[in-house]
Amino acid sequence: MILRRLVVGEYQTNCYILGSEETKSAWIIDPGTDGELIIDELTSLGLTARSALLTHTHYDHIAALTRLKEHYPDMEVLLGKEDAKGLDYEVIKATILDRRFFTIHEEALKHLPKPNDYLIDGQYLEDSLLSVIATPGHTPGGRSYYHREGRFIFTGDTLFARAIGRTDLPGGDYPTLIKSCYRILELEDDVRILPGHGPTTTVGDERRKNPYL
């Protein structure tokens, strides 16, 4: 197994590459905004993007999808159905708060690929060994991806080191987010939390030290 983190874009989004040394396939968790950086990293690792797994569809997590799909036309885009409208250009254009970001990345946001499939709670993605956990609250269709064998979970913007996700954006809901965070904290103490921004932490540390939980 290959696991890499790339910090990309204006919002310092964590993009993760999960790769198979056997099949040379890679799963991109939240590509962020820098498609060329991701392509270069995949090339250096000898990997090809098989799927982009989205924890949610806020613009700072998705803009690189367009470039990745151009380079890897067979790459699937997978996410929670409730977040699908976040890939719609007109929705993004009407709701985006950071107009400077929109101006810089408009062409990419205008040509985002359509989802190939929607992921449901409890689904097991056999080739990547990831289990899907529905973690709404930051967005309605939030998803986390748990790798039992590797003892880590990709939490997107649901749970961070000593922090939790925002709920003041469209579709956010605080009580729902808190329930999602506690669902993640049901995992064992040693499971690493790989969030959408900031440093890695563990379930045990967040259970003991997160001031919001």
- Per-residue pLDDT of 90-105, as tens digits, reads 999 999 989 999 999 9
| Whether the predicted model's global pTM rises above the 0.95 cut | yes
Looking at the structure of the chain, the number of domains it has is 1
Reading the block at residue 74, the tokens are 């067979």
How high is the pLDDT of residue 186?
A: 98
Rg of the Cα atoms in the chain: 16
For the segment 143-155, the average pLDDT, to the nearest whole number, is 98
CATH no. for residue 34? 3.60.15.10
Do you know the residue count of the chain? 213
| Contact present, 138 and 56 (Cβ < 8 Å) | yes
Domain of residue 198, residue span = 2-209
Please give the pLDDT value at position 136: 99
Residue in the structure block whose two tokens are 């009407």: 94
DSSP states of 93-127: HHH-S-HHHHHHHHHHHHTPPPPSEE--TT-EETT
Per-residue tokens: 156: 């997107």
Assign 158 a pLDDT band (cuts: 50, 70, 90): very high
Residue 159 · residue 209 · CB < 8 Å = no
pLDDT of residue 213: 96
CB atoms within 10 A of CB 83: 24
d(CA 62, CA 83): 12
- With a CB cutoff of 8 Å and minimum separation 6, the contacts of 6 are 14, 15, 16, 17, 32, 34, 37, 38, 41
List, for residues 24-54, the tens digit of each pLDDT value: 999 999 999 999 999 999 999 999 999 999 9
**Can you tell me whether residue 213 is helix, strand or coil?**
coil
